[in-house]
Amino acid sequence: MLELAPPPLETEVFSPELALVDDELRVLALAELPSVEPFEFLQLRDLPTQAEPRAAGRVTAGLVYLVVAILRTCVFNAFVFASVALVVLGLSLLG
């Protein structure tokens, strides 16, 4: 029977729980962790620069939102008007 060699351990995917019980996996998992210094979060860093907001994009977005809102309102009002008209027509034909 032909036996295939297992792939190298670096390419294997394993459960994180296995690192708790297998010494070799634990060593590999700890070696792959980034180094973290204690109190590193207290060090001051340069703030990232913020991009300036584009006013033209906001105006365009506002106008598009306004047009969509008006169209949705008109379509809904037309639907309600047609529904009420059909109900009144149906009731007048029955009565």
Each residue's pLDDT tens digit, 2-22? 565 555 555 566 677 776 778
The whole-angstrom separation of Cα 81 and Cα 86 is 9
Each residue's pLDDT tens digit, 36-78? 888 888 888 887 777 776 777 888 899 999 999 999 999 999 9
Task: Determine, yes or no, domain membership for 52.
Answer: no
H/E run at residue 58: helix 55-94
Which DSSP string do the residues of 61-95 spell out, in sequence order?
HHHHHHHHHHHHHHHHHHHHHHHHHHHHHHHHHH-
Phi, psi values for residue 26, rounded to 5°: -65, -45
Q: Where in the sequence is the domain holding 71, given as residue range(s)?
A: 9-35+61-94
The amino acid present at 43, given as its one-letter code, is Q
Is pLDDT above 90 for 81?
A: yes
Q: Count structural domains, the chain.
A: 1
